[in-house]
Amino acid sequence: MMEDAAKPTAMETLLATLDLEPIEVDIFRGRSPQVGWQRVFGGQVIGQALMAAQRTIETERFVHSLHAYFMRPGDPSVPIVYQVERIRDGSSFNTRRVVAIQHGKAIFALSCSFQIEEPGFDHQIEMPDVPTPEKLLGEQQIKEQYLAHAPPAVRKYWERERPIEIRPVSLTHYFSDRKLDPRQDVWVRATGPVPDNRLYQAAVLAYLSDMTLLDTSLYAHGTSIFDQSLQVASLDHSMWFHRPDKLTDWLLYTQDSPSASGARGLTRGSLFTRSGVLIASVAQEGLIRKKANE
């Protein structure tokens, strides 16, 4: 009797999720992993929409920026249809617009630009001086040392198998209501192999870029995304791809929130390789409001 096939890893599931089904010219279908989420993770929609756009671009042209708006929460129980519009194909740059549709309505829109690779001026900011990931608690250690007395929402977040492992430089935010400076440094890495393919590497990087950002805008207020009295959601997301990376090692995601007002919080992020190479910059504004009293 043959044994059941091994259950796919979280990273294998993510890669399958990013491998969209073409259903017409410039129209693709994406599915969501059934892991009990009430809504689709924003990073998944960004990654899938970027993958749809990339599949309409000729080879040797790669994404250098994207700008997206979240309009409705995604339903993980049904597929998402991605419609790509070819805005412009130039001699050096290509522009695409992607709309994600569910239940006959747009839930997300993405504009992205691609460029041929060419030489030019080169500089970058310095990576912050923080402890290496090996000096920080791993997820298993966090589970063993902290989760027994953590709130249910925190436990559920850390106990779920994820395609991206995170190691925050500080854990204070998760277990304290102390008001902190609105910045954080988080090491992140893929929990399994990412294909040696620039399209998948960009899509996985876009996926992980949506992790932990909203939380940074709550540091100054002594609360977190796990606070059940808050309504928290991504509103828009921008990303600039500076240099390619194969995602084979840890990346430092350093973040700061320069402002929160009008029930919105803004967070900026920089993604560095372990050796200090800046590979991407991110900016996101999110909804952070107190829920109306019942």
Helix/strand/coil for 17: helix
26 close to 86: Cβ distance less than 8 angstroms: yes
Task: Give Cα separations from 106 to 26, 70, 100, 115, 286 (angstroms).
Answer: 16, 9, 6, 27, 19
Annotated catalytic residue: which of 209, 234, 255, 270?
234
Looking at residue 160, the DSSP 8-state letter turns out to be: S
Active site residue 227: no
Q: Which residue type, as a one-letter code, is found at position 266?
A: L
Annotated catalytic residue: which of 184, 209, 257, 284?
284
Annotated catalytic residue: which of 210, 215, 227, 245?
210
Active site residue 89: no
- What is the spatial distance between Cα 170 and Cα 178, in angstroms, rounded to a whole number? 13
Nearest to 217 by CA among 267, 145, 268: 267
Active site residue 257: no
Helix/strand/coil for 234: strand
Contacts of 166-170 with CB under 8 Å at 24 or more apart are 166/139, 166/211, 166/212, 167/133, 167/136, 167/137, 167/138, 167/139, 167/250, 168/136, 168/212, 169/130, 169/131, 169/136
- For helices 42-54 and 10-18, the axis angle rounded to 10 degrees is 50
- What is the spatial distance between Cα 253 and Cα 212, in angstroms, rounded to a whole number? 9
Radius of gyration of the chain (CA): 19
87 close to 96: Cβ distance less than 8 angstroms: yes
Q: Which two tokens stand for residue 114?
A: 């691609």
Catalytic residue positions, numbered: 210, 234, 284
